[in-house]
């Protein structure tokens, strides 16, 4: 499905280059199947060096070369880029936008009736090939467009297709989630320091513990509660730690964080 594909990035910044590297690393695409444009010369130089792909200063050059386009500029820059490419965007083109909060309706409006568009909400661990993303398809996008998006994003992590209104919840959970987990890792590390561990050892133990626990959930398929039960022996140490977390309302607090960030994403989407 991808061996004859040419993929164009509009915007060659951090996310574009991380995603493109993931495609090449996963052997989904070769560097000569990728082309990227950007206004910023340093971004183009870095993209070319990191991905080994062709670059162009003009967005239109990318639109003429590639039929599948990944829109990877900042949300405030989206309108300008779409106005620039609109007259060259044909029914053969598919636009996959990763711009946070930019709705399918606004992408479709900007590109014209019948434009095939997909909206993705990735998260920053895409930068290390471990993103958690979700996407929603526009009115004219086909089942093959959804399948291609799924295949491409799977190269840089986990991906789910959802209805567009659920993307606000995805933003509140996995979009904002890395920040919550960084706080949790920092707190674990602080706890380690409080009981006498050196800071660097404590931080690495904390991060590796989060990584290992996450892999246990994903790879065993067991319910997180069942995994917790497996490590809480009667009268043992872990259940005392759990008791302290429950007294501090850890789970209710984390749930409230997801709900609050989702509400904010909804507000921003309406604005």
Contact residues: ligand NAP, CB under 6 A: 10-16, 37-40, 43, 59, 72-75, 77, 80-81, 98-100, 122-124
Residue 128 structure tokens: 């290390």
Q: Which is nearer to ligand NAP, 89 or 192 (CB)?
A: 89
| Comparison of 24 and 71: residue with beta carbon closer to ligand NAP | 71
Q: How far is the CB of 107 from ligand NAP (least distance, A)?
A: 12
Of the pair 70, 202, the CB lying nearest ligand NAP is at: 70
Question: Can you read off the two tokens belonging to residue 146?
Answer: 């959804």
Q: Is 76 or 195 the residue whose CB approaches ligand NAP more closely?
A: 76
* Of 89, 117, 88, 94, residue with least CA distance to 105: 117
Closest to ligand NAP by CB, 176 or 202: 176
For ligand NAP, which is the closer residue by CB, 73 or 173? 73
DSSP output for 234-268: TTSHHHHHHHHHHHTTHHHHHHHHHHHHHHHHHHH
Min separation Cβ 59 and ligand NAP, Å: 5
Distance, CA of 271 to chain centre = 22
Closest approach of Cβ 104 to ligand NAP, in Å? Answer: 15
User: Residues near 99 by Cβ (< 8 Å), separated by ≥ 6?
Assistant: 71, 72, 73, 74, 75, 78
* Six token digits for residue 25: 């690393």
Q: How far is the CB of 126 from ligand NAP (least distance, A)?
A: 7
- Least distance from ligand NAP to the Cβ atom of residue 128, Å: 11
Q: How far is the CB of 215 from ligand NAP (least distance, A)?
A: 22
Only one residue has tokens 């009736």, namely: 113
Residue nearest to ligand NAP (CB): 13
Whole-angstrom CA distances from 73 to 16, 38, 141 are: 9, 9, 21
DSSP H helix total and E strand total for the chain: 12, 8
């Amino acid at each position: 499905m991808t061996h004859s594909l040419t993929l164009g990035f509009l915007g060659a910044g951090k996310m574009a280059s991380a995603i493109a590297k993931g495609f090449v690393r996963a052997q989904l695409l070769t560097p000569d199947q990728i082309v990227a444009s950007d206004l910023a010369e340093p971004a183009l130089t870095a993209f070319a060096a990191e991905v080994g792909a062709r670059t162009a200063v003009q967005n239109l050059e990318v639109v003429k070369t590639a039929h599948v386009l990944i829109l990877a500029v900042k949300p405030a820059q989206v309108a300008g880029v779409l106005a620039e490419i609109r007259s060259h965007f044909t029914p053969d083109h598919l636009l996959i936008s990763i711009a946070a909060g930019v709705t399918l309706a606004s992408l479709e409006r900007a590109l014209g009736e019948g434009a095939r568009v997909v909206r993705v909400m990735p998260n920053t661990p895409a930068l290390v090939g471990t993103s958690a993303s979700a996407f929603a398809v526009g009115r004219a996008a086909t089942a093959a467009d959804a399948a291609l998006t799924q295949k491409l994003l799977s190269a840089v992590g986990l991906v789910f297709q959802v209805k567009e209104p659920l993307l606000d919840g995805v933003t509140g959970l996995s979009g904002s989630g890395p920040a919550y987990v960084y706080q949790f890792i920092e707190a674990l590390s602080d706890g380690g320091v409080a009981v006498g561990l050196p800071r660097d050892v404590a931080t690495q133990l904390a991060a590796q513990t989060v990584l290992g626990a996450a892999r246990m959930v994903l790879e065993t398929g067991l319910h997180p509660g069942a995994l917790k039960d497996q490590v809480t022996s009667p009268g043992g140490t872990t259940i005392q730690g759990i008791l302290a977390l429950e007294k501090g309302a850890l789970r209710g607090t984390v749930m409230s964080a997801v709900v609050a960030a989702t509400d904010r994403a909804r507000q921003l989407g309406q604005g």
